[in-house]
């Protein structure tokens, strides 16, 4: 009577021990594969925005131009503002007086015109002199054939905004109202971001004379380039050069400018700029000019 319960107890302990061992030896069930984490959104396009956003307005241009050439200092002084408007994200139009400069492609804006000079007893001589663009302030005897004598209508159509940003840049220029010089300009505006400090800008264009071709308003080429260096988030500087001239007798009339300048970002809306350079360094350092700029975003 006493041995049976003892046997049952031994058997129960043995079964419990065996079950524990089996449980320890059994491998856990396979876990389901972890779900893939959601893909991170692609970063927004980097690079320079060459067009304005829809509805945005930018007032820019070569705001004040001073001729500093020998024997012609301040002859002329002119104002050449531009107004740009963003029609769509990729389309910007501009009313310009400096032949389509942009904040990335500043150029001191002077034209040339001919006038008769009489020094008795010699007969009248026709000479070419520097002329102001836009609103010219110093009178006909000081480089202003008229108070207001040129205007341009520019279009920017953005093609890409990446390390290399590109926009088509055509325009219609009225180089003079009397005689009426009407030109078609076709070009490409672009920037290449080398790194966070250096950006290269370019704005090559071809000009086609439509009116007054007998007066010399014919085809010309312009190949400008700018190298920008960002000192910090407020100050930047550039060096500008290039090659331009009329196709006809190109070897006699081409010019190579050499200009230095810079920008100072006053605040998020206003940037001020200064430009100084030689307009025809290939002919010497006599043709000099100074430009003051202001860029204001509305």
Would you list the domain boundaries of the chain? Answer: 57-297
Contact status, residue 79 vs residue 134, Cβ threshold 8 Å: yes
The whole-number pLDDT of residue 143 equals 85
The whole-number pLDDT of residue 272 equals 97
At residue 3, φ and ψ (nearest 5 deg) are: -70, -30
Residues 6+ apart with CB under 8 A from 256: 241, 242, 243, 280, 281, 282
At the topology level, CATH places domain 57-297 in: Porin (2.40.160)
Residue 288 token pair: 């000099």
CA distance 99 to 147: 17
The whole-number pLDDT of residue 140 equals 86
Q: What is the mean pLDDT of each run of 10 residues along the chain (298 residues)?
A: 47 48 49 56 66 96 87 89 96 96 90 51 48 88 90 97 97 94 98 97 98 94 98 97 95 94 97 95 92 95
CA distance 107 to 278: 11
Sign, Cα dihedral of 124, 247, 244, 64: positive
Residue 67 token pair: 């001729």
Provide the H-helix boundaries in the chain. Answer: 3-25, 250-253
């Amino acid at each position: 009577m006493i041995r049976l319960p003892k046997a049952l107890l031994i058997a129960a302990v043995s079964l419990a021990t065996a079950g524990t061992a089996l449980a320890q030896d059994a491998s856990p069930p396979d876990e389901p594969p972890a779900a893939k984490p959601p893909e991170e959104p692609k970063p927004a396009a980097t690079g320079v925005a060459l067009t304005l956003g829809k509805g945005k307005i930018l007032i820019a241009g070569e705001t004040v131009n001073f001729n500093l050439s020998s024997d012609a200092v301040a002859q002329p002084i002119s104002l050449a503002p531009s107004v740009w408007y963003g029609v769509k994200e990729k389309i910007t139009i501009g009313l310009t007086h400096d032949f389509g400069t942009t904040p990335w492609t500043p150029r001191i804006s002077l034209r040339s015109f001919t006038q008769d000079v009489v020094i008795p007893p010699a007969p009248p001589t026709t000479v070419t002199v520097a002329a102001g663009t836009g609103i010219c302030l110093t009178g006909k005897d000081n480089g202003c054939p008229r108070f207001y004598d040129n205007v341009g209508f520019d279009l920017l159509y953005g093609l890409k905004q990446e390390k290399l940003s590109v926009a088509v840049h055509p325009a219609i220029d009225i180089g003079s109202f009397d005689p009426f010089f009407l030109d078609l300009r076709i070009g490409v505006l672009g920037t290449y971001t080398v790194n966070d400090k250096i950006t290269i800008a370019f704005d090559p264009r071809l000009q086609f004379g439509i009116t007054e071709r007998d007066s010399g308003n014919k085809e010309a080429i312009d190949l400008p380039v700018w190298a920008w260096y960002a000192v910090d988030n407020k100050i930047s500087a550039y060096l500008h050069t290039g090659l331009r001239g009329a196709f006809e007798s190109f070897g006699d009339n081409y010019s190579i400018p050499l200009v230095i300048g810079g920008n100072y970002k006053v605040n998020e809306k206003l940037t001020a700029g200064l430009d100084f350079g030689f307009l025809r360094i290939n002919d010497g350092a006599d043709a000099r000019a100074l430009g003051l700029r202001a860029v204001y975003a509305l």
